[in-house]
Amino acid sequence: MSVYIHHIETSVPTIQGEQRALLDRLKKIHEGDRKTQAILHRIYQQSGIENRHTVIEDYFSEDSDSFFNRCFNPEAIPTTGERNQRYEQAAKELFLKTAEQLIKQQKTAELPEITHVITVSCTGFFAPGPDYEIVKKLGLPSSTQRFHVGFMGCYAAFPALRMAHAFCAQDPNAVVLIVATELCSLHFSPKTDPDTLIAGSVFSDGSAGALVSAIKPKGKGFELKGFANDLAYEGEQDMAWTIGDTGFDMTLSSYVPDIIKQNLSTITDRLFTTFDIRQEHILDWAIHPGGRAILDKVEQNLDLDSVQIQASRKVLQNYGNMSSATILFVLKELLEADWDHRLPLVQEPKLEQVQKLQDEQDPELSPLVLAMAFGPGLSIESALLAKVKG
């Protein structure tokens, strides 16, 4: 049975900061530490990020008692409890905002009642959880089935989509609401080791959600064709996340892009074999923008045209890495693209290859999208999608 993404919504906190401004602030904080300043300059200048959003209200305050400045004061640094308290308050607002937008869209799309709610997050905890808040505050039936995918990291939207696909394949009347919300900025760390500085340079806050159903969309959408996943055990220590006394300790090693590059073919070959396609069938690659170097390695290793990965770079530039929510931002970019004018953007000879292969297989075949994300473990998750033009 075919299962579809009907709609994608995104939300971000109102507070926005330029990457350059944050770099200047950090250099000032580390004044006198020339080595750390040099590392920060190189990392931030090469990040591919221009703007990021945060739920920290006093992010730009010069007050020494501001939350951000306290993150660098050993005597006043926010505890994990304080950070999680802020998470609970701010995350509820974003979860509800994104879910409310999806519910409004669901009513205009004339879908049946929402039957399942799946929430995703790895930057905080509270119970009853965000799934409960969505059902209660937005007036869904108390019998709505609820699930929470927690602490899986940047790839967690894929397990949520897998669950939604399974629910809808089993019940053709199921309508699944997925919302992923991450508030990474609450865990800013004063540590100056390169891995922590890299993590601090990319992670940001945001929320995204999707409606999934076995009912074919009347407008634009994606058909979920299938999934594939794998583990690169050699990267277990290079991408990790644990709970410390002063926030969540995030590790994002500079080796991660190379580890991903070495393991890409394993997961792509599996998908290509399963669906009897070749790489040339894939028009767009929705790659989780964990960092600029990751996108560079994927583009180079797969010999992609720059336009094929453009949506990922755009999201990285405008929002940074919002952990699990990010891949839905990328898919939203592709979903809203003008597909009738999209094909000519791909340079020769890839355009000819895509069009020729589509004509050979099925003249009505929609362009395919391969979505992929990476997380702790090192975990690699992917999904093959087909554009529904509506």
pLDDT for the residue 390: 67
What residues contact 358, with CB distance under 8 A and at least 6 apart?
281, 365, 367
Delimit the domains of the chain by residue range: 225-388
Q: Are 146 and 132 in contact (CB under 8 A)?
A: yes
pLDDT for the residue 345: 38
CA neighbor of 321 nearest in space, from 293, 283, 285? 293
Long-range contacts of 162-165 (CB under 8 A, 24+ apart): 162/227, 163/118, 164/3, 164/116, 164/118, 164/210, 164/212, 165/3, 165/212, 165/224, 165/227
Q: What is the DSSP letter of 124?
A: -
pLDDT for the residue 274: 82
- Which helix or strand (DSSP H or E) is residue 283 part of? strand 282-287
pLDDT for the residue 352: 54
Q: Are 286 and 334 in contact (CB under 8 A)?
A: yes
Residues of the chain with pLDDT under 70: 238, 255, 338-365, 390
Q: What is the DSSP letter of 342?
A: T
3-state secondary structure of 273: helix
CA neighbor of 203 nearest in space, from 316, 42, 78, 309? 316
Q: Selecting from 3.30.2350.10, 3.40.47.10, 3.40.50.300, 3.60.20.10, what CATH number does the domain 225-388 have? A: 3.40.47.10
- Which helix or strand (DSSP H or E) is residue 222 part of? strand 221-231
pTM to 2 decimal places: 0.92
